[in-house]
Amino acid sequence: MTLAQPILLTASQARVLGALVEKEVTTPDYYPMSMNALINACNQRSNREPITDFDEEAVRLALHRLEDLHLAGRARSADGRVTKYEHWLGEAFNFSRAEAALICVLLLRGRQTPGELRGRSERLHRFAELDDVIAGLQKLMEREPPLVAILPRQPGTKESRYVHLLCGPVDSAQSAASAQPGSVGLTRPHVPLPVEDGSSEDSGSDPRIVRLESAVRALQQQVAALQKRFDDLYRDG
């Protein structure tokens, strides 16, 4: 099975999917994964950006949606004593080892340069040259629909950054702002919300307007979440 239509994951769904892909390669003796192991993999402090604190309900809800999309779910070969989970990314996209490694690291760590991707994917797949990373990213960008996009190079940086599109289109201006010093720990991945019924009619069925409306709703949600965090910090202080 291959996916011909764009998919739209939330941040939690992307993290769960990325964790499953990573652990299949790095800890094969413990894959498929139990619920507790998967929660720990999502929330581990290393090789994750941002750091999360998912509980079982959040991971379980993410798995339900991933199963609906045929991207992950209960292991088909489970013995029945303990429920375990696996990803089906290979069936959905027929990735090469290089492509799977790049998508995995992008899911777990957000936007990155080719150099960062090469170093951080070492445990998943060894890229002999930086050009091999760029070639793999190019293949992902040429998919229909594209699975990766390149962000405009920011002033003062030598390399452009790449980002996966499994959570929808990424606004380059927002990505640049979230990369500024002082924003670490307060940012969240850009996750456009699904378009509500009837919004296409209100915008004249123009897909560009629909995407903009979705992006605005996502920004409003992020601002509300940040405001709540600041309020909590002020109250606790």
pLDDT digits (tens, 9 = 90+) for 175-196: 444 444 333 333 333 333 333 3
Task: Note whether 192 and 211 are within 8 A (CB).
Answer: yes
Q: Which residues contact 220 (CB under 8 A, 6 or more apart)?
A: none
In a domain, 74, yes or no: yes
Cα dist from 46 to 49, 81, 102, whole Å: 8, 31, 17
Count of domains in the chain?
1
Show the tokens assigned to 132.
Answer: 């091999």
The overall average pLDDT reported for the chain is 82
In a domain, 185, yes or no: yes
> 102 pLDDT band (50/70/90 cuts)?
very high
Cα distance between residue 145 and residue 149, in whole Å: 11
The confidence score (pLDDT) of residue 76 equals 85
H/E segment holding residue 163: strand 162-164
The confidence score (pLDDT) of residue 231 equals 65
What are 23-55's pLDDT values in tens digits? Answer: 999 999 999 999 999 999 999 999 999 999 999
H/E segment holding residue 224: helix 207-236
In a domain, 41, yes or no: yes
Percent of the chain surpassing pLDDT 90? 62
**Residue written as token pair 């405009």:** 152
Partnered with residue 87 across adjacent β-strands are: 72
Task: Note whether 75 and 32 are within 8 A (CB).
Answer: yes
Residue 176 belongs to a domain with what CATH number? 1.10.10.10
In a domain, 231, yes or no: no
Q: Domain range holding 21?
A: 11-191
In a domain, 150, yes or no: yes
What are 58-88's pLDDT values in tens digits? Answer: 999 999 999 999 999 999 876 668 899 999 9
The confidence score (pLDDT) of residue 156 equals 86
In a domain, 201, yes or no: no
Is residue 93 predicted with pLDDT exceeding 70?
yes
